[in-house]
Amino acid sequence: MNAAFWNVRGLNRRDHQVAVKELVNEFRLNFLGLLETRVSAVNVLRVQTFLPRWSWFTDYDMPGNRIWIAWDDDLLDVDVLNLDVQFIHCRISIRCAHLSVLATVVYGANDSVSRRGLWQSLVTLADSISDEPWIVGGDFNTVVDMSEVCGASADIHLAMNEFRDCILGTGLIHLPVQGELFSWHNCSEGDRSLWKRLDRLLVNDAWLRLWPNSHYQCLNARLPITPHLCSEEILIIIRMYGGTELRIDRHNTLLLCLEKCCKLVFFKATKLEQEESQALVQSVTREEIKDAFFDIAEDKAPGPDGYSSGFYKAAWPVIGEEMIKAILEFFTTGRLLKQVNTTILALIPKRLRLVLDKLISPSQNAFVPGRSIGDNILLAQELFAGYNRQGLPMRCALKVDLRKAYDTVEWDFLSAVLQMFGFPGTFIGWVEECVTTPMFSLMLLQLIDQNEGFSFHWRCKELGLFQLCFADDLLLFCKADVASVRVFRHGLAEFAKLSGLHANPQKSQLILSRSAQDVREQLLAALHFQEGHLPLRYLGLPLLASRLSISDCKPLLLKIDSRIKGWESIQLSFAGRIQLIKSVLMSLNVYWAMAFILPKGVIREVEKKMRTFLWKGNSAVGYPKVAWNVVCKPIEEGGQGIRDILALNKALMSRHLWNVIQNNQSSIWVKWIAHTRLRHKSVWTVDVKGGSWGWRKILRLRSALLPYIEFKIGDGESFSLWHDPWHSLGSLITRFPRGPAGRTYRRQQNSPRDSILWRGGGFSTKAVYDIFRNHGPKVGWYSLLLGPCKIPRYSFVLWMAILDKLSTMDKPWLSHLGGVCVLCGREMETHEHLFFRCNYSRQCIRILKGTVRFTWPNRAWAVDIAWASKRWNGRHIVQAAYRALLAAIVYHIWQERNRRVFQQSMRPSSTIARIVVDEMRQKIISIDLPDSVSSRGLYRLWRIPWPVRGTA
């Protein structure tokens, strides 16, 4: 297992995402701990697409969303065991090794007071770990001793002592480090310059017994720290990082073989036009070089010299001219200055991007912007439709598994491929000089030469379609005859000989239609693959010959059960469970929902599992306090913002319909639908009957989308006068008889092209989800649950109190408890009484009024909530603090009530008030507030000393 812990300082920018992806590829990473991502909740799914086959866990329930973890789902299983604002603790199961380790990703708070909670939590975790390997890593925001500090620093001895005590208390040991010792700098010069070692890895004895020689590499200040288990396999991978010597004789042999294959056997490769080829090697301008430098993330080091991009940007007035000359020398001589290789590697892909869509087959849906993994799944479903029916043409498919697809590519093969595509020699030389670790996946297969006896799969000949690819996942389609299968076998053998990528016959499969069973033995003998049967797993989803059933969705349900089971040992609050439902369980469902209209029985079962997990957790008792349809409402309408699965499913599938309406030619599925299902008919009037199950489900979404689509009539070339619903009456063919065949319609000259627009802005899943979900009136009190001072578990209890859903003793099923308030012992316990007419809770309010000037009118509960919603509704930080204070006092009064009912333990009101004030102070300190009048006013109100800025 290889892992990295990285303070990315923002993951919204594309260059930051590319940097993470490059790190994953370079070090063959399987696990990532990412700190300070700065990604808002609405952008999570979009940002995470840069590692499409990885799973993610995010902590949006925690303030600031400081920590993300991600892992390769094909190799690892990860269960989150505990989470906090400063760490995520999880178990990583390595499937191939049948081994699991514990990992804690840490991002320590900026102040020593807040870090005390982290130290205590780590000690508690250590006490619960018996003999499992445990690694703790990340940004601790403090040092162990003064040897880890270089420069003038404030007095940090107390913080150091607390950190050392934590390490002693946990029994953890520092893992040996290679590379840079200091990982943080204050960006100052001279006497004010300060360096510290804030990033580190700690392990326990069980870890060192398994891997006594393990170490980690700190690449550079604010760059990742990457642990390696020193096994022979890792040493081999490291040795593979060196440059590959290109031998001229092998290169020429490969090129001749490729050209022969293109002409006679298997491929016909697209070649660049002369203009395209020349554009790749045109002179690099000084502006391009400077832009490339300034596009590099400031915390990403361009080379082994350790200087970050931020250094080069700051020093550009001094060194900029020399840097430009060095890079121009590379493009002139082809010699690479390693210190600036990141800039050069940024310039070359920008040129290559101009021709990628031409070179990469339309059936390869990775690497090219605008293409989607969903197109592969939808088209595969269409091609497998009817495989279980007799009487249809004989068909077959090959699911090809490539052995070690990312480890065995020949670099001289890549060079020969580039030459065959028509890349100029100068450009090939640049690539040869630069590439050592990246792996380029270039799809060569485009058209099959029918003279070799190849016959296309049914309904694929018009598009010349015989393959579907996503990265190294490959499906091949043809007619079920020996000649066609032999063409595939011969082509795969030649491809393996040239590239080093071999098909694994033990894992590759041949899938036959029912009508092809008579030739089953001959085809299996010709191919030497295993026989596969539908439903077949492809890209993590089932491929089916007919409709999707509840049993087909069993892997989804089992995955959800597995995730929930992994959280059984964690004591989670309701708010914690809400966040896990939103970020983990819903993400499992979304991947299926973008490929299928899920059966209603499956949706009910998924909702049942989520509902049970929310209200029961790992307990055998409990009941839903709030109806699930209320929980799924947006926060503005009085819910918790969990998305309705049925509405989200329809919204995700509507994107496919929108692509058909827009005639999106970058989608191979849209092209196939146009040629096969529509055949020059309008998508608005084509009959639902006769298509596949999935296509029929998509067509049923038309009526819901139509009111939100606007037809802009231009030259009339793209719209059908009779069939498209461009008029308010709808499709005219449904209202009026067709005009005489000889009648002509005059079009305006020089008109703009026809266009289809989405009313109210661009098409988005969010906009379409809003169409399908149930709407309710906005509630005035939702702002009480929001704000920068929000503590989620407190806000959840306040939400339930506002809805009158707390289990107070006035509820009929609790009448056996007597009904009298346990706080004051005088009146019937109701929401009205507890908040805040009870003498006990009133006394808490009085103390808070004297401490932080918190006032409460104490009328009817609903009236008071409406009053608070208006009084504290705003972005001012003091108002946000009062909203959070209300949630905190409601939470702690309810907790005190439960202590007295179930534990017979009592605390005075002064203690509750003090706890509330202390917790709110800690929360305020943890927020990164600007130095402003309002911020200082908040600190004065809560009697918190204003912090001294400029120290770590």
Tell me the pTM. Answer: 0.65
- E strands in 665-788: 709-712, 755-758
Query: Residue 664 is inside which H or E element, if any?
Result: none
Strand duo 755-758 + 99-107: pairing = unpaired
Domain residue ranges of the chain, discontinuous segments joined by +: 3-239, 256-270+362-538, 273-354, 560-643, 650-772, 783-941
Give the percent of the chain with pLDDT over 90: 37
Q: Calculate mean pLDDT across residues 16-25.
A: 84
Q: Is 537 left (phi over 0), alpha (psi -120 to 50) or beta?
A: beta
The pLDDT assigned to 103 comes to 93
> Using CA atoms, how far apart are residues 229 and 449, in angstroms rounded to an integer?
49
**What pairs with residue 811 in β-bridges?**
none
- For 452-501, the three-class secondary structure string (H helix, E strand, C coil) is HCCCCCCCCCCCCCCEEEECCEEEEEEECCHHHHHHHHHHHHHHHHHHCC
Burial string for 16-35 (b: 16+ CB within 10 Å, else e) reads bbbbbeebbeebbbbbbbbb
> Distance between CA atoms of 294 and 45, rounded to whole angstroms?
27
- What pLDDT is recorded for position 307? 58
Structure tokens at 494: 């030649």
Most confident of the ranges 151-165, 523-537, 614-628? 523-537
DSSP conformation class of 32: E
* Residue 408 CA to its chain's centroid (Å): 28
Mean pLDDT within 884-898: 95
Res 512 pLDDT > 90 = yes
Mean pLDDT score, 192-208? 84
CA–CA–CA angle 69, 95, 438 (5° rounding): 60
- The answer to whether residue 165 scores a pLDDT higher than 70 is yes
CA distance 148 to 848: 43
Q: What is the pLDDT of residue 768?
A: 94
Q: Is the pLDDT of residue 247 over 70?
A: no
Mean pLDDT within 351-360: 72
Our CA dihedral for 357, 363, 365, 371, rounded to 10 degrees, sits at 60
Second CATH level (architecture) for the domain 3-239: 4-Layer Sandwich (3.60)
Instruction: State the chain's mean pLDDT as an integer.
Output: 81
pLDDT category of residue 851 using cuts at 50, 70 and 90:
very high
CA distance 336 to 339: 9
Total length of the chain: 952
**Between 19 and 352, residue with greater pLDDT:** 19
Our CA dihedral for 334, 340, 343, 349, rounded to 10 degrees, sits at: 40
**Distance (Å, whole) CA 186 – CA 73:** 37
- Using CB atoms within 10 A of its CB, is residue 682 exposed (0-12), middle (13-18) or buried (19+)? middle
Beta bridge partners of 556: none
Bridge pairing between strands 536-538 and 541-543 = antiparallel
Least confidently predicted of 66-70, 745-749, 912-916: 745-749
Q: State the pLDDT at residue 243.
A: 28
> pLDDT higher for 865 or 447?
865
**136-150, 392-406, 551-565 — which one is most confidently predicted on average?**
551-565
Is the confidence at residue 447, as pLDDT, over 50?
no
